Chain A
Amino acid sequence: MVDFAKFLSYLLVMAGVTYLVRMLPLVLVRKKFENRFIRSFLYYIPYAVLGVMTVPAVFYSTGSMLSAAVGFIAALTMAYFEKSLITVASTACGAVLIVELLEKFL
């Protein structure tokens, strides 16, 4: 337990660092890059970042690895047919819910 005044100092440090790492590049980089290599690098960044963040974390995102795997496949299928973000996300949630209900009652 910490007292509230000390907590506020912690909060300031934590929020301050988190904000600075987000804010500085967005405020400092004001122009569009023309260099082909840099543009290509920045093109790939989101895909590389999302790839690392999704696999294998997706398999640990629900109550069981089986339900997560079924949700993953459901999402892949919907995404392959280029459904909207909300459709893909909610189909994955629905698939997980069904599998976990089955796991619970079977």
Chain B
Amino acid sequence: MSENNSFKMGLRDGIPIFLGYLSVSFAFGIFAVGSGLTIIEALLISMTNLTSAGQLAGVPIICSGGSFIELAAAQLIINLRYSLMSVSLSQKLGKSVRLIDRFLISFGNTDEIFAVSVSKRGTLGRKYFYGLILMPYIGWSGGTLLGAVAGNTLPEIVISALGIAIYGMFIAILVPAAKKHRATALCIITAALLGCAFKYIPGLNSISAGFVIIICAVPISLIFAAFAPISAEENDEKEAQENG
């Protein structure tokens, strides 16, 4: 299986993420400044955290003078899903990825960057990852800065339309995979139904969204791995068909 190590291709794959991040981080910038942080502080949070839910949860804790323990615990629970994604992502790394690259790439392992990289065929090289991470990083930081500075000057309708970009991207990854493999389709549908349960059922909907991802995705994946295991040949075959 060949390794994809093109910086340019990574850059191109990062563009939809860049668009989606602009709108989400724009909203974060407005929120952070509205909560009492300075423009520089809002920007620093986005440049060092690169995560949406964790940042949104962290700002009120910081602004209300909460404890470090509270802040750390909130970040741990909301962001623990990244550990799961990092384990999964570790299997996609090609031979060109050195130890130092692992330290750097992991910083950019967001939901969306993870989603795009695991949807690619074969293994991925370090140049591809740096290309993939660059545009979203600029979008996330730049959008935060714009939101913090310009506040409500951008027409609401444009922010609103950009809000669906990230989900459009997820759908573009999910649907083709569901078409090719029945168990994958069932897995996605089960996950979506559980997502609804945790949104609408009283009690369940008080659990943090970041944590919901773990308590849904782990059992679902275990069950599907047990009842519909994937064989290496099956994977290769699918890839051969896709390439052909």
Contact = CB atoms under 8 A, between A and B. Distances in A.
Interface stretch (B136-144, B145-153, B156-164): B156-164
B72 A1 contact: no
Contacts of A39: 91, 230, 232
A13 B115 contact: no
Contacts of A57: 167, 195, 199, 209
A15 interface: yes
Interface string A48-66: 1111111111100111000
Given A11-B45, A40-B230, A1 B16 contact: no
B195 A52 contact: yes
Contact of A7 (B62, B114, B184): B62
Contacts of A17: 72, 75-76, 79
Interface of A (DSSP majority class): helix
A45 to B, nearest CB: 5
B89 interface: yes
Nearest to A96: B161
A48 B176 contact: no
B217 A52 contact: yes
A84 B175 CA distance: 12
A88 B169 contact: yes
Interface of B: 13, 15-16, 19-20, 36-37, 41, 44-45, 48-51, 54-55, 58, 61-63, 65, 68, 71-72, 75-76, 79-91, 93, 99, 102-103, 105-107, 109, 111, 114-116, 118-119, 156-158, 160-177, 179, 184, 187-196, 198-200, 209, 212-213, 216-217, 220-222, 224-226, 228-232, 235
16 contacts: A2-B63, A10-B62, A14-B72, A18-B54, A21-B76, A22-B106, A42-B91, A44-B224, A54-B167, A56-B196, A71-B168, A78-B172, A85-B173, A86-B19, A93-B19, A101-B157
Given A22-B85, A50-B170, 6 more contacts: A18-B54, A41-B221, A49-B217, A72-B164, A86-B19, A96-B160
